[in-house]
Chain A
Amino acid sequence: EAGVTQFPSHSVIEKGQTVTLRCDPISGHDNLYWYRRVMGKEIKFLLHFVKESKQDESGMPNNRFLAERTGGTYSTLKVQPAELEDSGVYFCASSQIDREQYFGPGTRLTVT
């Protein structure tokens, strides 16, 4: 069974540009989560989808971040325009209801 995949693995962009991160969850997992680790800090929750609906987006830092999960399958996280403080590793995780979360390998975003 394929695990959670994320694309790209690395992205280097300039301040002000737009970047879109993609997450493909494990097939059949209705729950999809986005998390972020900023350098030197603990991993923080961004948001949670149940199928295509946003269940909790309390961790989204500001309106420069937009997450979608059309059709309840893969999800995208767009940052527009990117700022220096957006640099970090973005993790996606998926799970079945009330079960453990499986993490993707992460996307390392560097904003210069």
Chain B
Amino acid sequence: KNEVEQSPQNLTAQEGEFITINCSYSVGISALHWLQQHPGGGIVSLFMLSSGKKKHGRLIATINIQEKHSSLHITASHPRDSAVYICAVRNTDKLIFGTGTRLQVFP
């Protein structure tokens, strides 16, 4: 069993839909990252959080430390949101990654 589990693995949505991607972890962490990778592109950091909730534009990330769970929400999804979204937790000083969630948003 991976130390960081994401669900779903694949997600398709119609433009405008509300998207939720979940991440659960089983190790102690100092922070949790949500990352985005477009096809053929590099990895971009969306959020780093250690408690509560953060919002950036249409993206919202929440974390529940007691339940060892985080969610990434995308409101009013758009085809340009199509990418792989990766949850990674900081354990000591290294990151442990989930397998990623492949999101496709259709017009």
Interface residues of A (CB under 8 A from B): 31, 33, 35, 41-45, 48, 55-56, 59, 91, 93, 100-106
Contacts and interface: CB of A to CB of B under 8 A. Distances in A.
Chain B, interface residues (CB within 8 Å), range: 20 to 34
Given A48-B93, A48-B94, A106 B99 contact: no
B23 interface: no
Prevailing SS type, chain A contact patch: strand
Nearest to B88: A43
Prevailing SS type, chain B contact patch: strand
A103 B44 contact: yes
Given A43-B86, A106-B42, A35 B95 contact: yes
Interface of B: 2, 4, 33, 35, 41-45, 48, 86, 88, 92-100
13 contacts: A31-B93, A33-B94, A42-B4, A42-B99, A42-B100, A56-B92, A56-B93, A101-B33, A101-B95, A103-B43, A105-B41, A105-B42, A106-B43
